[in-house]
DNA sequence: TATTTTGTTATACTAATATTAGAACAGTTA
DNA sequence: TAACTGTTCTAATATTAGTATAACAAAATA
């Protein structure tokens, strides 16, 4: 598992970890049904505390991306075929809105935003 | 100026304030050249501390959205006609990437993302 | 069955951040 | 001149982030 943490970043370590795990899943390097490493082993691998990894896992669970089975481990949820759930979509919208507003103020138009979204999509999926 | 702060939110007050100011500008309710209220008056209006407003203003300055003139006040930057600057665009991409990755994992495809971006754009611009 | 591993929970500590508070300073504006 | 401006400073409290141990009970495994 290829994960790189920037200790000097203003983004919390557990958020960096959660984001990189999400990208690995989006890119297909981790798939639905796969088990994530135990919090202890991943913490040892990355040189961080067990509780930090635990917090990242629980962040992913709250987002509906993995399932944590008590006393057993964390498993990536199977891909949804019926499309995104409304509750998740609403959360994405709330996260996206302030960033898109910023982009608009800084001079981007509707076409620019659509192009940007497509290009980031391609980048995540692996160019 | 219509600003609503949620004290119980996990989003810091100064971030909520900065985001809502950005949306007001994106929507056109505040325009380039307009002066923002003084940090003291806005803090009094919103029932918060002067330093919290000050931090929100400096956040907007760092993003290139307003200019703060020492001993005078804060003025909204004029709209850019030459399109967004590369440095700003790069920052937007970094902010957008983890959210789009999350959307992909939760079942959204390229078309869904493009549609979502368009719909949020319309929403911000005032339906 | 016995051992190891698992996530969970609890406590404790340090560091950084967020927020409020009050005051003083020096330049701007009316 | 007088009021207002952002800046700077000190200070206090509250919350969050991160690390460090330790113990527990259930699951996996040898």
Give pLDDT tens digits along chain B (127 positions). Answer: 799 999 999 999 999 999 999 999 999 999 999 999 999 999 999 999 999 999 999 999 999 999 999 999 999 999 888 899 999 999 999 999 999 999 999 999 999 999 999 999 999 998 7
pLDDT 10s digits, A63-122: 999 999 999 999 999 988 889 999 999 999 999 999 999 999 999 999 999 999 999 999
Whether the CB of A49 is below 8 Å from some CB of chain B: the reply is no
Q: Cα(B101)–Cα(A19) distance, rounded to whole angstroms?
A: 8
- B101: nearest Cα among A30, A58, A86, A72: A30
Residue B74 phi, psi dihedral angles, 5° rounding: -115, 130
Domain boundaries, chain A: 13-76, 86-125
Which residues numbered 97-126 in B keep a CB inside 8 Å of some CB on A?
Answer: 97-108, 110, 112-114, 116-118, 120-121, 123-125
What is chain B's length?
127
> Under CATH, what is the fold of the domain B13-76?
Arc Repressor Mutant, subunit A (1.10.10)
Collect all residues of chain A within an 8 Å Cβ-Cβ radius of residue B63.
Answer: 102, 106
Q: How far is CA B110 from the centre of its chain?
A: 26
Q: Which residue is nearest to nucleotide D24 (CA to C1')?
A: A71
Q: Cα(A20)–Cα(B57) distance, rounded to whole angstroms?
A: 31
């Amino acid at each position: 598992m290829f994960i790189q943490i920037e200790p000097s970043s203003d983004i919390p370590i557990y958020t960096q970890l959660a984001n990189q795990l999400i990208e690995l899943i989006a890119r297909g390097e981790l798939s639905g049904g796969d088990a994530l490493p135990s919090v202890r082993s991943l913490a040892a691998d990355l040189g961080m505390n067990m509780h930090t990894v635990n917090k990242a896992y629980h962040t992913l669970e709250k987002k509906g991306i993995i399932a944590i089975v008590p006393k057993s481990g964390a498993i990536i949820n199977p891909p949804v075929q019926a499309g995104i759930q409304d509750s998740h979509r609403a959360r994405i919208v709330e996260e996206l809105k302030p960033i898109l507003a910023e982009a608009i103020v800084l001079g981007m138009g509707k076409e620019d935003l659509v192009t940007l979204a497509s290009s980031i999509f391609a980048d995540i999926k692996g160019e």
